[in-house]
A and B are shown apart, each in its own frame.
Chain A
Amino acid sequence: MRLTKLLERVLSAIPVAIGVAVLAFMFLRFLPGDPVEIMLGETQVTQQQIDSLRNQLNLDKPLITQLALFLAGVLRGDLGVSFVKNAPVVKLIADTLPATIELTMATVLVAILIALPVGIISALRAGSIVDRSVLSGALVGVSMPAFWFGLLLILLFAVELKLFPTSGRIAATMVVDRTTGFMLIDTLLAKDLRAFGVALKHLVLPAITLGVVFAAVLARVIRASMLEVLSKDFVTTARAKGLREWSVIIKHALRNALIPALTVTGLQFGELLGGNMIVETIFAWPGLGRLVVSSIFARDYVVVQAAVMLYALTYVAANLVVDALYTLLNPRISL
């Protein structure tokens, strides 16, 4: 029963992805700017050269034909070849996605490490000075522009204190063979613990930049739902049974309070997987966000279409995982 439900949910992602693909296709074509004009740059070119390039990229065909060609490709699993980089889109995305996933994981970890204790403590001490400073701290965190915060971290921790590197995923002089594309895994596979440490250090500042903002949101959510749960009857009952306070909080209250936090985390995870162009640019982090934004500027339609489809699928998947986790936390909820 559950399996068929799950399968149903997975299959329902397909029309969503195709619908999003069609929308992405149309929006991009309505965006002013000509990829051929941009590609040829500031050269002396003949009209014949322009026409030939346009023909090669199928840009001279009617929009509906282009859309049909694109959808046919998608069904065959062929997402096309980037105009600008002359490389298959699948490869371009596969090259950049691991960097983004790695940063996303680290970001979520940083956020949870900050938000969980902070959220619980401020709920337990609601109204106290601690609580109020957490709330205002969270407000600062949410309002802080990543651009500014990231540069601040670089100047303080990389330039002044030299505790962490300014940017990149690994030291310039280190050689790490690419196997999975995940620097932490690749360094371990190469049994190079020093490189692993260096890669870990490179993750710290960008993960904090993104993680602090997310932690601010998450801490508020955890605080609010903890407050709600703590006033529920079953908590009173648990206390009345004489359970230890930490056991009441962790086993009874927190478990139930986590559901909204999980929803927020799932959505945030989906968003982070899209790559964060600003943070990836500041930290010279070769992720998906930079690929997509530079492709938008170059009107490299093929790359953007594929990425938008990937985003849609990521959201669907993240939601699905969150729903599955609900059932673990609360058996009364089912898929």
Chain B
Amino acid sequence: MHRLKWLLVPLAALLFASAYAEKLTFVLDVAENRSDEGQAIVAQLQAIGIDASLRIWQSTVLKEEMIAGNRTASATDWGSAYFDPFDLAIPKLRTKDRGNYSFYSSDVVDEAFRVASTSIDDAARAAAYLSAQRQILADAPMVFGYVLQNIEASSDSVHGWEPAADNSENFHLTTVDGSDTLIIGLRTNALVTLDPAMYRDRDNEAFLRNIFDALTIPTSDGKVQPHLATAWRVIDPLTYEFDLRPDVTFSNGEVLDADDVVFTFDRILTEGGIDGATSPRAGLLGPISHAEKVDAKTVRLVYKNTFPQELVLQALTHFQIVPKDYITEVGVATFTAAPIGSGPFVYARGALDAQVVIEANQTHWNGAPKLKAVVWQMMPEASTRIASLLAGEVHIIQAVPPDLVERLSSVPGVSVHTALGTRAYQIELNNSTAPFNDTRVRQAINYAIDWDSILTNIYRGYADRLATPFLPSGFGYAQDLAPYPYDPAKAKELLKQAGYDTN
């Protein structure tokens, strides 16, 4: 009898557990910049009986914890340098890929991504992306979020300028009433370098694109156009050939030809190729083997595996061609201090953490810019940028926070401009452990969040809802795929099916 008593305890516990299911309990992790959003989400989850709580992190620390698999639900964002899911959806959702913080794995999706990143048949790629999106939506590996618009503002004296989806700033045709100099307030703390091989961030690229040219150039909404390359053709599935524009010189008079193009790619692809340092940009080029010269005005890019033409052309927009003779002669250090390019502007002077000045390249192949000079002012604080625009000290400012747009729009003489964004925001759910190894639970969370109210109230409508981490601006986007609607009843039902108490 005495021994039997011990048996009764677990039995009673079992009965208790089955009669009274537990609530779904988890911690939502967010970095500082998304704490308002996190609070709103937690409140909505609590309203349908989920025991959710919020934890706020420094983003780098959170990222490391996520990669180690120590977190269950974490807000993340990931940007795309291609107008193609190649460097956003793929690294975030392919099994064990670099950005797959949800630990999601699907054979269907992996196969679709394999086709999409290797096929040279556009129709097959598009079909693969469509099937991947359908599968991802059904599996709900994460809570799908939104894409923030890129909001910039300018004085009404500025003409011929618009913000670009990829944060580029193209001033070739820009004019300013009553001034031949334009001043722009950048969001960044400091530019990293003037060497086009040694940076990774966009702000640096936006600047360098003004003093260097690339083989192709993106329009402000992401279509690729010829630039230094005037035409291209497929030689075989691993080789693309490019014709170079015949009349291009660098601002020091050096002719830009195939040698410069090959040199540009060599220094990026060679380990330790920049005075012993390795370029952090090689990954952007895809599975490239090398570049080779055919004749003075023809170059070939040779790949190790098949790589879709659209991706090759997208990638090339990010590689500014540098002058071989100049760099060989003066060395990397001097080149970095006094860069020479073929772009519409030439570097004049400056300090990378304060202000940098570029002046019109009078001999640019596409005609000299209308402005005489552009001053790039580093202004990391948004309120200061806005004050500076209002005080008339700068003509254009980047990155206006959505909650300050209203204040700017009501001021005469300045206007707010927006462009599509290229950064997807979502909440990663750890698919490898409970509770989110159950598809129903992940779907339930997707139904339980009222994104429309969050996007309207917190992001003031300057954000667009996403059905999956595929951006509407990208290749192969499924127009007809609707995001999870806000449906708390459905969420509760799914949670009940999964064995959770929702009262």
Contact = CB atoms under 8 A, between A and B. Distances in A.
Contacts of B413: none
B81 interface: yes
Contacts of B390: 159
A56 interface: yes
B367 to A, nearest CB: 24
Interface in A215-271: none
B283 A290 contact: no
Contacts of A4: none
Contact of A44 (B87, B200, B353): B87
B358 to A, nearest CB: 12
B64 A86 contact: no
Interface in B186-206: 189-190, 192-193, 195, 198, 200-201
Nearest to A161: B391
A44 B86 contact: yes
B351 A95 contact: yes
A115 B210 CA distance: 49
Contacts of B201: 41
Given A33-B61, A44-B91, A167-B384, A290 B353 contact: yes
Nearest to A283: B384
Contacts of A41: 79, 200-201, 280
A41 B318 CA distance: 15
Interface string A144-180: 0000000100110011001001111100110100100
A44 B90 contact: yes
B173 interface: no
A99 B190 CA distance: 15
- The bracket for how many chain A residues form the interface is 35 or more
B190 A294 contact: yes
Contact of B387 (A38, A95, A166, A173): A166
A40 interface: yes
Most A Cβ at <10 Å: residue of B79, B181, B354: B354
B474 to A, nearest CB: 14
Interface residues of B, number: 58
A8 interface: no
A178 B64 CA distance: 41
B189 A294 contact: yes
Interface in A22-43: 31-34, 37-43
Given A37-B63, A172-B394, A43 B381 contact: no
B350 to A, nearest CB: 10
A96 interface: yes
30 contacts: A33-B61, A37-B63, A39-B280, A40-B283, A41-B79, A41-B200, A42-B88, A43-B200, A44-B284, A44-B286, A45-B98, A49-B282, A84-B192, A151-B387, A154-B383, A159-B387, A165-B391, A165-B393, A166-B384, A167-B379, A172-B181, A172-B375, A172-B377, A173-B375, A178-B351, A281-B384, A284-B381, A284-B384, A286-B354, A290-B189
Given A44-B86, A151-B387, 7 more contacts: A33-B64, A44-B87, A56-B277, A159-B387, A172-B375, A172-B377, A297-B60
Interface of A: 31-34, 37-46, 49, 52-53, 56, 84-87, 95-96, 99, 151, 154-155, 158-159, 162, 165-169, 172-173, 175, 178, 281-284, 286, 290-291, 294, 297, 299
Interface of B: 58, 60-61, 63-65, 67, 78-81, 86-88, 90-91, 98-99, 181, 183, 189-190, 192-193, 195, 198, 200-201, 271-272, 276-278, 280, 282-284, 286, 349, 351, 353-355, 357, 375, 377-381, 383-384, 387-388, 390-391, 393-394
